[in-house]
Amino acid sequence: MIRSLLLALGQLGDPPILRVFAKCMALTLLIFMVVGIGVWWGTQAMLATWFGAQSADMSSGIAALFALFVTALALWLVFRVVAIAVVGIFADDVVAAVEARHYPAALATARPVPFARGVAMGLRSALRVVLVNLVMLPVYVALLVTGIGTAAAFFVVNGWLLGRDLGDMVAARHMDAGAMRGWRATTRLRRFVLGLANTGLFVVPVLNIAAPVLGAAMATHDYHANRGTRRVGGLDQ
């Protein structure tokens, strides 16, 4: 896993990776900007209804401050979820760039993931993160008394989620659905460790911004470093 991280960090400056990073950041920020504008507009309309048109300037100022607060809070709380959904859209470009540099033989036989499938995978991944963490919320709260229990549970749960989804982003280029089910069954522990490592990146300042792209690159190295190259009918077996 350390090797995968170092290789991923070493490729961050490559033009294809930088392009994906720029697209991911632009789309992520756009989503939060839309949220902020929506909160501002809704709050301003509500205040105008309550206090009347004569307080329009005051309503606009309060709405702007509230929108700024909500957007900042959303960035802190759900940046990871949005970033995972967004990187799922562009993950195939990251995987292709890593394979082009380090695993050209695998790239030659890979099947690019269609854009629609990438979007669906990213949205499913984000939805799983939200739903599972909501279900686990009472457990997180109950473990607060232990001091470290909440953080440990968070890492375990999100390590499992991220490991599954990051691995799928790579495997989808080299396997059909049936082969992927078998591959998941035999790689649970390794993908869990990958997920733990990427969850850790999300809590490191500065690195957390690049964590989704680094995760996709690390998953690519992990997949190819731990899998044979025997193929049947163009698919990994």
pLDDT of amino acid 53: 53
Where does the chain show beta strands of DSSP type E? 231-232, 235-236
Query: Averaged over 14-29, what is the pLDDT?
Result: 87
Q: Which amino acid is at 163?
A: G
Q: What is the pLDDT of residue 230?
A: 36
Q: What is the pLDDT of residue 225?
A: 84
- In terms of C-beta distances under 8 Å and separation of at least 24 residues, what long-range contacts does 144-150 make, across chains too? none
Share the mean pLDDT of the chain.
82
| pLDDT at 59 > cutoff 70 | no
The whole-model pTM stands at 0.78
Contacts 24+ apart (CB under 8 A), 65-68: 66/39, 66/40, 67/36, 67/37, 67/39, 67/40, 67/43, 68/36
- Tell me which DSSP letter residue 226 carries: S
The pLDDT confidence band at residue 81, using thresholds 50, 70 and 90, is confident
How much is the pLDDT for 91? 85
